[in-house]
Amino acid sequence: MKTSLEVLKQELLDNNIHLSHQRLKVLEYLIQNHNHPTVEQIFTDLHKDISTLSKTTVYNTLRVLEDAGLVRVITIEGTETRYDIEVENHGHFKCKSCGKIYDFEIDMNVLSSPDLEKFQISDKDVYFKGICPRCSQH
Amino acid sequence: MKTSLEVLKQELLDNNIHLSHQRLKVLEYLIQNHNHPTVEQIFTDLHKDISTLSKTTVYNTLRVLEDAGLVRVITIEGTETRYDIEVENHGHFKCKSCGKIYDFEIDMNVLSSPDLEKFQISDKDVYFKGICPRCSQH
DNA sequence: ATCAAGGTTGTAATGATTACAACTGTGCAG
DNA sequence: CTGCACAGTTGTAATCATTACAACCTTGAT
C-alpha cells in the first residue's frame, strides 16, 4: 500500500526531514483520515492526544510535508485550505450543497495542452463542483 | 466575440441584474484585462476613474457576476483569489517562479470519471503549476 | 556535561473577506 | 411636482485563517 506509514517515514528520512513526535502524529492522522481535513480539524483532533500541541506546529508540519511532496494541498474554495495524503491520479469534487469533498479517479496524463509545450509542469489539480448523489435525491 | 460588453450586458438584464455604473465598470475592466486580476488590482485601477468607489462594491459586484455565471473565480492558491471573464474550455497554469497565471486550452468535455456517474457537475476547474518558459530559460 | 541546531510553542501581527448600518440615487404612485 | 420605496453603494468594524517572531525545549555530537 502506497500510503503506509513506514514508506512515508522512509521518504521523510530520504528528504533529510527529522521525524519528530508531532510530525509523525500529523502524518498518521492524514493516513487515517482521507476526508480532506482542514488545519482546524487536524489540530482539534490531535490536541486531544497531545495536549501541548500548537496550531503553529500543525501549519509548520503541513508545509514540510507539502514541500517533501507527501501531502497535497486542496484549495478548491478560497475560504478553506484542506490537506490530503498525496495519491496519484485523482481529482476532487466538492458538493455545493453539503460541502463534502469526494475523490474521483482521473487520468492526469491525458491532461495536456499544446499551449503548454514549453512549460515544466509539476502539479496538476482537477476540481469539480456540483451536487452529489446524496444531496440531489434530496 | 463572446466576451463583448454588449452581449454580457444583455446577459445581466436577462438575469434581472441592474446595470449600475460601478457594475459596468467592473465588467469592462474584466473584459479589457484578461490577466486574472485580484480584487485589490481591480479596486486600485478603477479607483483612479471612480474616486468614490468602495472595495466592498467590488466584492459585491464580483459575487453578482459570479452568480450570474459571467465570471470565473480562480483559487489556484489559497492566498489569493483571482477573477476571470468566463470563457469555455481553458485551464490555468501558475508559474511558481514569477507567479504569472497563463491560460491554456483544454477540452473539459474529455474530463470525466466513472466515479462521478451520478454527480451533477456544474463547474470544472483545471489548475497546473510549474515553471513557465520565460523563467526556465535561465 | 556542554553546546549548537532544529523543532515546538504561544502570542501578536497581518491581510483578505464579510457584516452591518447609514447614505444615495432612481423610478413610480399619488 | 413631491415624496416614498427599493436597490445599490459606501466606509468602518468585525472576523478568521495564516504568518511572524521570540522564547523555550530536545536531541545528538563532541
The CATH number of the domain holding residue B35 is 1.10.10.10
Mean pLDDT of B30-44: 96
Q: Which residue segment(s) compose the domain that B107 sits in?
A: 90-136
User: Does residue B97 sit in the same domain as residue B50?
Assistant: no
Chain A residue numbers touching B133 (CB-CB < 8 A):
118-119
What pLDDT score was predicted for residue A2? 53
Q: What percent of chain B has pLDDT over 70?
A: 97
List the alpha helices (DSSP H) in A2-91.
5-14, 21-32, 39-49, 55-67
Mean confidence (pLDDT) of chain B: 92
User: Does residue B94 sit in the same domain as residue B62?
Assistant: no
Chain A residue numbers touching B111 (CB-CB < 8 A):
106, 111, 126
What does the block give as the cell for B43? 479596486
The partner residue sitting opposite B127, judged by closest CB among A93, A116, A125, is A125
A2 burial via Cβ count (<10 Å: 0-12, 13-18, 19+): exposed
User: Does residue A31 sit in the same domain as residue A57?
Assistant: yes
**Among A53-57, A58-62, B78-82, which stretch is predicted with the lowest mean pLDDT?**
B78-82
User: Does residue B73 sit in the same domain as residue B13?
Assistant: yes
Element (H, E) at B6: helix B5-14
Q: Which amino acid is at A113?
A: S
User: Does residue A15 sit in the same domain as residue A80?
Assistant: yes
CB contact under 8 A, B120 and A136: yes
- Pick out the nucleotide with least CA–C1' distance to B54: D10
User: Does residue A95 sit in the same domain as residue A52?
Assistant: no
User: Does residue A27 sit in the same domain as residue A79?
Assistant: yes
Number of structural domains in chain B: 2
User: Does residue A48 sit in the same domain as residue A81?
Assistant: yes
How many angstroms separate the CA of residue B8 from the nearest CA in chain A? 24
pLDDT in tens, B101-110: 999 999 998 8
User: Does residue B74 sit in the same domain as residue B52?
Assistant: yes
Overall size of chain B counted in residues: 138
Decide if B108 contacts B122 (C-beta within 8 A).
no
What pLDDT score was predicted for residue A13? 86
User: Does residue B60 sit in the same domain as residue B100?
Assistant: no
